[in-house]
Every structure is written in C-alpha cells, then in structure tokens.
Structure 1
C-alpha cells in the first residue's frame, strides 16, 4: 500500500489519471486514478531525527525517520553495485527516533517511537520487546516528549537512560527501571494542557507533550556525571549518578527564553565540560544557540551566533581523538571548526545545504556520519586529515605537499549486489566507498619548487607546477609501487590497490611514453610506507594492510601464491622480450623497405621480396601469441600462447587457499607453450633473420644488426 500520512498531491492538468502523491514515506505515482501505485525508490529524501553507528565490519548506520520507522543499514558495502535500499532493515515502526546498538552484540539494540515508546530488537529474527518505563505510582502521568531522550552508558553495556519529566535508569538493558531524579522540568501546568482542545481537536499522538526531557548527556570521562536538558529551557546536572541535581541552565546568558535544550554533549576529554545546543525555531526564532561550559555549568561561553553559521543549530559533536576538531549542524548545513570553536567554516564538498539533525563519529574508521531531515544519511569518509589540521593548524595547507595519516586498509572479498546486477536508473544505489587503500594529502601549487641545475635561473624560468604528484609505496625502505595522483590545490584523495609493481606484458605495439607502471601481485598484510612527492618536497606516512577480518586467511598460502606469481612474472618478462624482438624485426624490415624506396634493381627487388617473407613470418608469430586480427566481432582464441599464459595468471589469483593442481597445471601448460614458441622464435632469429641481415648488409643498402634470442630466467 501507500503510506497513509499524505502531505502533497498533484494531478496532471492534461491527464487526470496521472497523479503524484507525497507522504511521510516518500512519493508514489499512479497512472490509473489511484487503482494502482508505484513507489518511487530512487529519491533519497529520508527525514532522520537521530543518527548512530555500530562497530561491525562493515559498520552500520542507524536512525529513526519521521513517521517511517527505525532503520539499520551499512555505511558502506563490500559489494558491487552501490548501497541498495534493500540492504537497509526496518527494526521498528512508528515515528522513529534514537536507534542504538547493544554494545555487547549489535545484532540487538534499542529503537524508539513517539510518546516514549521504546523496544529492543533482534535484527536476525525480528523478535521485539517493549521496555517503556512506567512509574511505580499509578497516579503519576509520565510526560514523554514526541522525541523522548535516550542515552547509552559508555561505562556499562547494560545501562541505559530514558527521559520523561524524570530520568529513568536501567542496569539490565530495560528489563527493569528505576527513577533517579525528581521532575527536572519547570513543571509548568500552563504547558501541560495537551489534552485540552485548541478549538479543533486534542492531541492524540503525544506530539504536544511539554515540560519534558529531550536530551541526556552521559560523561564518557567520569562515571556518574549526568546532564539532562528539557524542552522548557532547563539544564540539570548530577555528579553523583542521580542522587542530587543542580539546575545550571539559568546561568546561560542571551539564549531565548523557553528554548529547547535540543542536545547536551559531554566532552570526551574533560569531565567538567559540556556543550548545549538550544533550538528555538518553534517560536520562529532562527538564531543559532550553542554554548559550552568547562566548569560544571557555572559559566557558559557561546560557540556560534548568526555571524558564524546560517540557520538555527540542531546538532554538535566533538571529535573523540582531537579536541580542537568540532562540528555543528544547522537547519542549512554542516560547519566545521579546527580551532576549538574560535572560527567555523561551512562544509560544502559533496554535502548539501540541508537540515543537519544529528552527527555521529565511527571511531574505528574515523568517519563522520550525518543524519539530515529530508536528504537522508551521509558519510564523510575519514576525517583524519581534519584532525591533523586541528592539531597542527591550517598552516599545514601552506606546505607544498603533506600526506595525512591513513586508515587501515583491508584486503576484503567483494561480492555482487543482491538482486539485479544491472540496475539501470530506477533502483537507488547510494555512493559506496572506493576500493583499495585510501591516501589523502594536501597540495599547495603556490609552494611548488624544483631544484634547478642553473644557479641564475629567474622566477620566470622555473618549472610550472604539475597537476600530478608521485606516490610511492615502500617496504623496508625499498620502493615496491609507484603511481601518480591528482594535485589540485587543497585536499586530494586517491587509492592504492594494495599491490606491488608488476612487469609489463607483451603487446603488438610499443608501450606509450609515460605509460603507468604495471600492477603486480597483492602485497601481504603488514605495515608499509606511503611517500608523496611534489617537486622537490616529499611527505611520508605509514599505512597498515590487514586481511579480511570476516574469515581466517592462510598467510602461508598467500606467500606460496606470491612465489608462484614470481615464477609467472619470469615467463611474462620472457614473453615480452620475445614479442618485442618480433615487433622490432618488423620495424627494421619496414625501415629497410622505406630506404629502398622506388628502386627497381634486382638487388632491391630481392630484398623487398625477402622482407615480405620475413614480415609474414613475424606476423604469424604475433597471431600465434595474440590471435589473428581482422575477425568480425569479439574474438578470443583460447589456443593462443597469450591465452595460455594469461590463464596461469588467472589461476594464481583465483583463490587465497594453498595452490594445488589447477594452479600447478595452468603454470605447467603456460610454460610449455611459451617455451615451444620461444624455441620457434629463437630458431627464426638465428636462421631466417640472420640470413636476411646478411643479405641486407651485403647489399650496402642499409646497416642492420642481428637480434639475440630469449630464454625464461631460471634463477
């Protein structure tokens, strides 16, 4: 069916059967006046209230949507075809709010819906249990906000907190609760008339519950420190686990009265520090209010105003690794500070101007995960470069080149997308993380320099800054891989395929000038060094490569395959030399014929005739290795020498298990075929070609040399 909460309706003026309908679940289209509807799957317009992450591999993003349930889905996938809608799982329905994984096992977790409803979920079975707190006094009405406050203890996996007008605490994952506070709101009865009609209807959804707790902050630094914010402006602090409470919100200056304390974020570094995000847009006040206290709420400093950010503030997070790095989300975008909140910059690279409701950081992978209201969920991959800027200052960007700390890269297996491989355009697929090891660096062309060999070079004569950097991968001081990367001013990101330098294979034509280095075998798990060079300036950082953590990898088997690949490369080197000899000989014959021009004396005629015979023989060798040319359509001959040699490479890279008969036989067949062809080519070079060289030399028409034979290296 179609989601029942309708908000927009359009009927075609020329075809009344054509109707588009918008609702809390998205958009639907009918072409038969509503008899049947098609849900539009490729519009990422989810309205998230909250966002969270777990620590699975790959990790999951989770959050609740406006009247569209609570969802869990991958932050990235080890699949082809992008992040599909079908990879997301609904774990609860209703108006979704906080979704939180169980730290003991993220198969389980907690999900909320309106009016204080909260339940546990099991992603595998769908089993769910309501754990909504009750009050021991039956006469006490618990005022849960439409978007009630929830918090998971960072000190105990079984402890969670929940807010009505009181703070509730469970130490057994919601099986039982205790009230650990008095009423922490203003308890103003004039704000508690939600069951009284405003002239049309009374509130049937608890969306108008007021004087409620809307934010809970649990200090990760010191157990027992609790911060609570309400929708009527209170900020309450307990330093003894809820035994006693102090209202400190009244000490915040210049904030609009009755503003909601939308978020409270305790510092991951300082037990006395907290950041409060106030939201007063419900009174048509779009001014941003974000305040910080570093002395248990005794005093507060404003972090932003309307001159720093645009739109009312909705979210805040401090990086758990670098305290100078902070993010703020507003109704109109994402802002970042690298100087402890002294200045703020709007983040526009790849991120829209959108209602930025909530922020989370996946700590293992240093990803900033963003929940928006209307533009779905976003991931800013790998904020380590921002950590460096926050730690060392923006002057890092003045350097000619600086490579930043790299995330751990995994040699992970990848599978095909579920369902349709060729999705066309109607199936939505979120942008997936790029494959390979990520390398991020900053480039400043204005600081580019290249040491000159002339002492008196003028500035005008200096080399122009290139648009590429050189990237080298080193193992124990030895360069094992070299490739180029972009060199745009500012931050650049590229990838390394976690492979070594390979050897160039045979080709009918000579490799082009400045052809990229060929790829070789995958490196073994371990730590390597990345060196990025721009002009005469280089910057280095280590990079760690690990095996796929989802299954056990046989390191000995990988080493055996690498040894086998080294033998394969010896065959490729020989094959490339052999076919280069063939190509060189054809070029020599062509040059000789060109030098003879239109001469028609008998010697020249004989040389041209002999040259054609030689060329035909050389072309036969090329066809034997590469296959015949001129065939219609796609033509792949499995009997060519190139196919047999290439088949050995495919066998070596087909698995991570110890190599056995398939690989051994593929190598044996390839070597035998190549050795037979080498014998034929070498015989040709020592026979027919030598004879041709002698004939050309004797004619005094041209001077050419003999060509040496080729062997497969055995050492």
Structure 2
C-alpha cells in the first residue's frame, strides 16, 4: 500500500468537511458558539578569549554510580528517637541526608568549596541546626582537606560559613547541651606539615567567633573530644602529634595525651595517672549513663584501652588487645553504650564490642565492609546503631547482632578509570579506594536506569589501574595496592596473579624488595599493540603477551634514596601497608603518535623519556622551569597529534604545597612551558587530557574539580556546568567513538557528559552570532526493555542519557518568548516529520533531545502525562535509519545540521524489515489521530448540548418536551458511538475491555517497541483493526453528515 493510500486519509477529509457544516448549523441554531479542532503541526578561534563558565551553566552531567561500594565514611549522625533523619559525612563526597530512614538520600553540601567531611554535630533538641567540620581526620595517604566549619539552621538546605579555615582537618565537634550557643571544635590541623590551626576552638555565640583554648604547638592536634552531658563544664580531648610525608608518617610522642577541662574548656590540664607516656592517636569517650566512667583508646606500645572510674582524674589499663585499634593512626576510636557503662564498642578495622568494661572484646558486623570510622548509637534506643566504614553505611536494630547494608549512596572513590568499545554502549570502570576494581555499563537499555546489579567486581583490594583486552572486553589486567597485578577472565571467572614480582612485603619496609611498586602502580596498554602492557615500579616492565611474561626495559628511574625506603610509622606504632612505598614510578605513558616514545614520572620528582622503546632514557626534569626539586609527577599526557609534545602535572600536596603545577613540552622534554595559568591555588592537579580532535583544548582534573582550557593552558574555566558537585577528579577519559567526557571522581563515583564534541566547535566568531546549532553525534535507534520489576525507591540507579539525539545549540541572549525558538526535523525527502517547541532558551549553550520519533498522533485531550513503567505519553513512530536534517529556528532564522540515525549494531535486521515496521506504525498513528479527532469533536458537542440543556432549564420551567427529548437523544447517541471508540473515562483496565483506540494504541506499541518487522499475527490483527476503523469512520461521518 502506498503512503498516499494510508488508512484514514480520505475518511479524515470527509470528517473535517462534515464537521465544518455541522459547526455552521450549530452556530445558527444558537446551541454552541464555537468549536475548535486540533490539527497536525505545520509542515573564530577562542584561543585568545577568556571564556566564562556561565557559558556552560545550562548543561548537566549524569552520574552513573556505582553505589555498590559507597566509599569511606567519616561520620554518621542521627536524631535521638527519630529513625527517619540521618546525616552521613563522606571522606571526600560531602554530606548526605535521609528523611525516611535510609530509603533515599540527598547530597546537601554540594555547593560548598570543599567535599571532605570530618565531623557532623546536631544541636541537642533541635536537629535542624547542623554543624559540619570539614576535612576528615583519618589522615591516610589519599586524604583530602577541609576549610573550617559550616552551620545550617534549616536541616542542611542552606549553609553559613563560620571560619576556622586553617584547621584543614576537624576530628570532632561537641555542643553544650545546656547552652547550645557554646560549641567546641577539635582540630587536627594540616596533615602534611606544621600550622597553628590546631587544638580546641570554643565559640560561645553559636559559631560567630572563636577562641583557641587548648594548643601545644604547630605539630599537635586534636584526635578526639567529648563532653559530659550531665555536667558540660567537664570535657576531654586527645592531643596527638601526627605528620605525613609521601614516604612515611610519624604518629605519637610524649608531648601528647589526654587533656581534661572542668571549666567549660577555658583551661585544660593533662591527665597522666595510669596512662602511657608515649602515646599516638587517642579516642576518648565518657559513659553517658555514668559520667564517672571514661574510656581512652590509645595508640601506644603499652596498651590500647584505659578506663577511669573517677571522672577522668586517673586511668587504669584494661586491654592490650591490638586488634581493637588495628592501625593506630587510622582508627583508635570507640563508643560507649548510652545506658550501659560497661558496653564498649571499638571502632577499628573490625567492629568489636565488650560487655565487661573493656576487658574482652568480640567481633560484630562481619557481613559488611571492614575498616570502620563511624558509629552512632541512638541514646533513646541503643539497639539502633548506624555504622560507617570504607565501603559505606549500615544500620542495626539489635545492638549490632545483625546489619542492613544501606549501599544506596554514591560516594565511590575512584583512583583511575577505563572505558572499552563494546556495542551499542561502552562499559566503564576503574579502581576504588579499598573497594577493588569494578566495571559496568555507561548506559543501558533498562527503563529503570543503571542498577547496582549491572556492576561487577573484577578484582579485590584497594583498586587502581585496569585495562581490558581490545579483542575481549571481559579480559582484564588490574591491580591492588603495591603492584598486586592480576589477569581476570570475567567469562570463566579465572584470575591469575601476573605481577612481575609475586613476592610482597606488606608489614615490612620496601627496601626488602628487589623492585619497588607504588601504592598506585601505573599499568598502561600500548596504543600500538593490543597485547603490549607496561607497568612501572622503580623500573619499567613490558609485556608482549598481556601479562604472561615481563621484561625490564629501563634502569632504576628514581633517586633510589635509601633514607626514604625505611619502615614507616612510629614512634607509637610502626606500619607498612605499601601506602608509603617510595622511590617509585607513579605515571607512565606511551606516545600514540610514535611507537617507542615512553614517558615515566616518579614520586620523588624524576621525569624520564625514551625515544627507542627503552634502550636509552633521558631525565628531563631539570629542564622544567620553576619546579621545586623532588616534586611527584602525578601524570604525563603525550599529545595525540605530535610525538614530541607532552603535558606533565606535578603534585606537591603531600609535601605541604597544594599549588597546581602543569607544564607542556613540544620537543621531547628539552624545553617546557608553564601552563598552570589561573588554576586555583589549592587545586593540585591529578590528571590532564588533550582533546583528540582539537588539541588546543585541555582538560584538567584537580582536587577541586574539573577545569578546561581552550588555549593549551594559558587560561582555565571551571567545567562543572549545572550539577557536577565539588569533588576531586582523579581521572579523565574522552571516549573516541561516542565523544563522551568521562570523569573518575574520588568521592562521587563516575560522571559522564554525553557528547562533548560541541566544545570543539566554539570559536570567537560563533559567540558573536545570535544562535548556532552544533554538529550532532550519530544517534542509535535501539529498543528499551525493563528486565527488573518492582525495585522500590531504595535501589540506587545510575542515570541513563535521554533516548535519542542530543541537540546542542548556542544562544547569544535569553529568549523570553518560547514561540520564537523551535527545532524542526526533516527526512531525506525534505518532509517535516517533527517540530520540537518549548526548548531551553537560556543565554549560553543549551541542549534539547529528539527521541527519534515522528509527530505523535493527535490526542483526544492534550495533557502532560508522567511517564512510568506502565504508561508512556503519546509517541509517533520511530524513524528509519538514515540521514535527517535538523533546523534550529530562531525568529525565522534557521541554523542547520545533518544527523545520522543508525540501527542498533547488536541487532540483526534488514532495512526492508524496518521499512515495513515503519509503514505499519505510521498507519496506526494515522488511524489513532482520526479516531481521536472524532472523539474530540463528540466531546465538544456533548459539552455544548449539556450546556444548552442546562440553560433552557434555568430560563423556563416549560419547554417543548420533544426538544428536550431530541437533546437527550443526541447525547445518548453520541455516548454510544464514543463507547465503541474508547473505554469509559477513568475505568480500570481490568473492568472494561479495550475499544478501538486502545487496541490501535496497543498494537502500535507492540509493533514499534522492537527493531523487527511485524509478525504475521500482528499483520493479520492490523487488517482486522483497519476494517473496524473504517467502519467506525463511516458511522462517525454518517452521524455528522445527517446533521450538516
């Protein structure tokens, strides 16, 4: 059947002619005054321009998760007696809040300049007053920093900054329960060097001003603090000396210890009786039920738990069990049951409980992640407890006997990420802090989005680099801390240790090993050979068989300083977890332009390059101007266009210098240009990436977020757009096929900006135009399908992009009248098949979406309908694969681009089959339009007849009975016809069978929901419906024609 003979076209012409006569007739008779019918819709380089980030403020990122592995939690605070409200502080992902007991969570701190949280405190009796101390106090090698204290008086909706910028790491905030204007802040201070922002700070006016009352020197800070709830003049604080360097840390001395105040924190005295002299980190807690009982958890060679029964005047040792402390600098924390002074919880690598005042402990919470940092116990219901660890949060309602793992917060801490090229949608994954290596889809065909079940763990441990084999995207090389490299086949579940050095030295100094592998060992694939892998230790290893065998291709490229290869930790406790392994390679890259050009950067500030595959290496670091000596090389990025060009970033934050350092060379490192430009002072840089198409564009991932330069680094613009929160960006990818910009953040999971290619089209001349439509990425036509059902609201779902083609355009000025802006879509025959109105119309760059569908059927009633699993709004047929023309029209001026639509490459279907499907779907849409036009006409007639009847009844008590009968007869006849066409309004689908319009719609959705030709049964049913449709149109026209 030719398109010109599609069903309903002749009937539609007749229907409209009859309706015209009928309208004239009704107007003459005075029954109605007007009748309206819906109809179908009418057929410069910016390298020298300092762009403002406001240009991109209308655009949004999407967060794909995952939430399976939440990331390190620094604090959990609940409301006594209220199981619904809970606040969670993330080590590097801000503050989250639930108001429904953990079913859903909202990030409430995203607009602030820092994301690391140390402690949260709620005002007693008024949980809407929230204090947040920024900068976590678990000062491991990957710790971020804070900038002081924030306060909210409306439950976290808005925040006020209260100062204390130099504290950087806040361990505890306590509030006087009798006078809530009195607030105490325990500050640890800088983690990597000395400063005066340490000690106990007291405010007596709700945070408006602060006084430092406990302070020893620039090296001692506060590890913990507590207040006597019954006598708030009594407080305790743990004073701790700690400093971290890249190769070691020092914890403890004889100058720290437990301090006590009896005058509300004005003065402090050191408690020595019964406590060890050499002491590291301290956890201090007062038993709420009996304030005479005070516990001190200590990092000390003499003991781990001390108890006081005289209000903290003296202590006695009750435990030497090191398991309740585990790693002294990282844990050393405890809680006391609110109603039982002898029930003590040790918050450590494992969660332990004692019921005999600390003499013995047993482990609880074996079903959750390990490495605990937070525990909140409801003082009104001690059975309800919330815990926080390196893997997220969990809640217990039976004092820790059983736990519900509430992993629906996305605070994942990625170090590195990767992406493959599988079709139709690539997968992305990476290594996470203490949560292994995972991978999952960048998008999927699920109507619910990306679920936790879509993610799979590749390998265990602290996860870092990972790469997959180009020919087998389920075959991986990945690593855990300290060079633990494995090869994993996710199809067979076989995993083999393929590290060049199987021997490990966990617990011992790195000097005991032949080769030194960093905590975060670089593993990179060669861009020139699919089986070649490089790994960096203190030398460069090369494998030609995807990790089965290795050869050394370099000498030791580090300083090999023996003073920086000794045991870490002390003097309180030693610790060697590979986190302090030093004199190692931490960045490695091969030029994609010239094989054999390899760059290697080290943590002790060496930068080497070879131009012959490793036969000869040259140290080029001394050619870099104004770079302090021994600065770690955080990343090397070879140019995608020139073999001699490369970018290098340097990170000195672990040397107590948070400044960014970014350089570029164009001659293999002989000379360098500083391109740090206007990056913020504290935005130390983790990674830079060069745009693969327009190399002037550089992306920088920093501790404060993402920045982009259009001028190779002379000027930088923050690139957070509408919704990327403040978070450290540790890795960046630009997908070569899909043109997506992918971020691996250390605190908020993976974020994707779909199709960033528009940025390559921004030029100075463009910004002077009234409008501009950017080039459009190829769109994939695929079928969506829900494979889960009834997932509830607690399930975390990663966001899929909207279905269809992304249309990105620039507006020089805001468009106030929506009628002035539209998008028209034309097919290859220059036929208008879709018009999109109501577009985003803000000044700057905007984005709209075309869902690859033609104009939807005209509706009986034009309503906005929320789409869900059961119901979707009116839709036209999916377009065929091919080339389409997109026109952005602003006040009559058109801006045009072509769009290619392709079929799902994973589905085998012929173009003829898709054409047949399209013909049937289009015919069904046309029939729906005709039926709905008739229904809409009848609706109007019914309304006017009923109004006329009511008017007559009001105007006179007597009216010819035959007139009233005629009106009632018309009403009844119309309703009978309508009943043949559609179900009664509001009838549940199981009480009334489908009528014509419902059957047409159902068959349309059935045929249009896949990439297949209609089945024979569907074609037969279509013929049946067509006959029913034609009969219905005859009946409609006959009724209207008799009265025209």
| TM-score interval (norm. to shorter) | 0.7 to 0.9
For residues 74-120 of structure 1, the C-alpha deviation after alignment (integer angstroms, 9 at most, x for no partner) is: 11121122222221111111111101111221110110111111111
Contact 1:627 1:640 in 2 (8 A): yes
Bigger drift between 401-410 and 637-646 goes to: 637-646
Render the CA deviation track for 1:239-275: whole Å, top value 9, x for unaligned. 1111111110111122232221011110101111111
Q: Is the 8 A contact 2:377 2:386 kept in 1?
A: yes
* Equivalent residue, structure 2, for 1:696: none
* Change in CA separation of 1:664 and 1:85 when aligned onto 2, cut-off 3 Å: closer
**Structure 2 residue 642 is matched with structure 1 residue 642:** no
Three-state SS of the structure 1 residue aligned to 2:734 is: strand
Q: Given the alignment of the two structures, is residue 530 of structure 1 paired with residue 902 of structure 2, yes or no? A: no
Following TM superposition, by how much is the alpha carbon of 1:28 offset from its aligned partner in structure 2, in angstroms? 2.6
Match of 2:499 among 128, 132, 136: 132
**1:684 and 2:1039 correspond:** yes
Q: Please state which structure has a larger fraction of its residues in helix.
A: 1
The 10-residue stretch of structure 1 (304-313 or 68-77) with the greater mean CA deviation from structure 2: 304-313
Cα deviation, 1:140-179, whole Å, max 9, x if unaligned, reads 7101111112211000011111111111111111111111
Please give the secondary structure, in 2, of the residue aligned with 1:107: strand
**Structure 1 residue 500 corresponds to structure 2 residue 854:** yes
- After the TM superposition, which residues 345-356 of structure 1 pair with which residues of structure 2 at under 5 Å, given as runs? 345-349=717-721, 350-356=723-729
Task: Write the distance in 1 (CA, Å) between the matches of 2:616 and 2:898.
Answer: 49
Q: What SS does the corresponding residue of 1:675 show, helix, strand or coil?
A: helix
Q: Is the 2:466–2:523 Cα contact (8 Å) retained in structure 1?
A: no
User: Deviation at 1:27?
Assistant: 2.2
* Aligned-CA RMSD value: 2.9
Q: Unmatched 5+ residue regions in structure 2?
A: 1-366, 504-510, 865-872
TM-aligned CA distance change 1:228 to 1:645, over 3 Å: closer
> 8 Å contact 2:824–2:832 — kept in the other structure?
yes
Q: Does residue 154 in structure 1 map to residue 527 in structure 2? A: yes
Deviation, structure 1 residue 187: 1.6
Structure 1 pair 478/10, CA: closer, same or farther in 2 (3 Å)? same
Alpha-carbon separation, structure 2, partners of 1:264 and 1:24 = 30
Shift of 1:351: 0.7
Q: 1:401 maps to which residue?
A: 771
Equivalent in the alignment of 1:427:
795
The answer as to 2:394 corresponding to 1:28 is: yes
Q: Which of 303, 308, 319 is the equivalent residue of 2:691? A: 319
Q: Where does residue 359 of structure 1 map in the other structure?
A: 732
Match of 1:480 in 2: 833
State the Cα distance separating 1:682 from its structure 2 match: 3.9
Matches within 5 A, 1:266-665: 266-304=638-676, 308=680, 310-349=682-721, 350-389=723-762, 392-393=763-764, 395-418=765-788, 420-424=789-793, 426-445=794-813, 465-466=817-818, 469-476=821-828, 477-484=830-837, 485-505=839-859, 507=860, 519-572=875-928, 574-576=930-932, 578-579=934-935, 582-583=938-939, 586=942, 606-629=962-985, 637-638=992-993, 640-653=995-1008, 655-665=1010-1020
Q: Which moved more, 1:244-253 or 1:651-660?
A: 651-660
Q: 2:610 aligns with which of 238, 241, 245?
A: 238
Cα distance in 2, alignment partners of residues 654 and 465 from structure 1: 36
Q: Secondary structure at the match of 1:49?
A: strand
How far off its partner does 1:679 sit? 3.6
* Conserved 8 A contact 1:645-1:674: no
Structure 2 CA distance for partners of 1:236 and 1:686, relative to 1, 3 Å: closer
- Give SS of 1:668's match: helix
Shift in Å at residue 407 of structure 1?
A: 1.8
CA distance in 2, matches of 1:124, 1:534: 52
- Specify whether residues 664 and 602 from structure 1 end up closer, same or farther in structure 2 by C-alpha distance, changes over 3 A only: same
C-alpha distance in structure 1 between counterparts of 2:403 and 2:951, whole Å: 76
TM-fit CA distance, 1:413: 1.9
Shift in Å at residue 584 of structure 1? 6.0
Partner in structure 2 of residue 697 of structure 1: none
Picking from 242, 247, 251, the partner of 2:623 is 251
Distance 1:553 1:201, change over 3 A: same
2:237 equivalent in structure 1: none
Q: Distance in 1 between matches of 2:681 and 2:656?
A: 17
Equivalent residue, structure 1, for 2:537: 164
| d(CA) in 2 for partners of 1:147, 1:639 | 62
1:658 to 1:202, Cα distance in 2 relative to 1, 3 A: same
Corresponding position: 1:212 with 2:566:
no
| Structure 2 partner of 1:8 | 374
CA distance 1:237–1:406, shift in 2 (3 Å): same
- How far apart, CA to CA, are the structure 2 residues paired with 1:15 and 1:581? 64
Give 3-state SS (helix, strand or coil) of 2:477's partner.
Answer: strand
In the superposition, relative to structure 1, how do residues 601 and 553 fare at CA in structure 2: closer, same or farther (>3 Å)? same
Q: How many Å apart are 1:41 and its aligned residue?
A: 0.7
Give, in angstroms, the shift of residue 624 of structure 1: 2.5
Indicate if the aligned counterparts of 2:678 and 2:715 stay in contact, CA closer than 8 A.
no
Q: Is the 8 A contact 1:81 1:421 kept in 2?
A: no
Rate the CA distance shift 1:438–1:227 in 2: closer, same or farther, 3 A.
same
Residue 299 (structure 1) shift:
1.4
Whole-Å Cα distance in 2 between the matches of residues 560 and 669 of structure 1?
18
Structure 1 pair 589–317 and aligned structure 2 pair: CA distance change class (3 A): same
- What are the superposed Cα offsets for residues 19-59 of structure 1, whole Å, 9 maximum, x if unpaired? 33322222233232322222221111111111111111221
Q: Equivalent residue for 2:483?
A: 116
CA distance in 2 between counterparts of 1:598 and 1:133 reads 97
SS in 2 for 1:95: coil
CA contact (8 A) 1:336 1:345 kept: yes
Task: Supply the distance in 2 between the matched residues of 1:226 and 1:16 (Cα, whole angstroms).
Answer: 59
How far the C-alpha of 1:586 sits from its partner, in A, is 4.6
Q: CA deviation at 1:642?
A: 2.6
Indicate how the Cα distance of structure 1 residues 206 and 499 shifts in structure 2: closer, same or farther if over 3 A, else same. Answer: same
Choose between structure 1 and 2 for higher RCO, CA contacts under 8 A separated by at least 6 residues.
Answer: 2
TM-score, normalised by the number of residues in structure 2 = 0.60
Q: 1: distance between equivalents of 2:403 and 2:796?
A: 18
Residue 551 of structure 2, aligned match among 178, 198, 201: 178
Post-superposition offset of 1:651: 4.5
Confirm or deny that 1:67 pairs with 2:419: no
Cα deviation, 1:654-688, whole Å, max 9, x if unaligned, reads 5443334322332232223233333434443454x
Query: Are 1:51 and 2:417 counterparts?
Result: yes
Which secondary structure does the structure 2 equivalent of 1:77 belong to?
Answer: coil
Any unmatched runs of 5+ in structure 1?
449-463, 690-705, 707-715
Question: Are the counterparts in 1 of residues 632 and 652 from structure 2 also a CA contact under 8 Å?
Answer: yes
Number of residues of Structure 1 aligned to a counterpart in Structure 2 = 659
C-alpha separation between the residues in 2 aligned to 1:76 and 1:177? 36
Tell whether the 8 Å contact from 2:907 to 2:1011 is kept in structure 1 after alignment. no
For 1:460, the equivalent position in structure 2 comes to: none
Shift of 1:632: 6.4
Q: Helix, strand or coil: the match of 2:487?
A: strand
Bigger CA drift: 220-229 or 85-94?
85-94
Question: In the alignment, is the contact (CA less than 8 A) between 1:266 and 1:274 conserved in 2?
Answer: yes
Q: Is the contact made by 1:145 and 1:206 (CA closer than 8 Å) also made in structure 2?
A: yes
Q: Would the alpha carbon gap of residues 189 and 139 (structure 1) be closer, same or farther in structure 2, given more than 3 Å must change?
A: closer
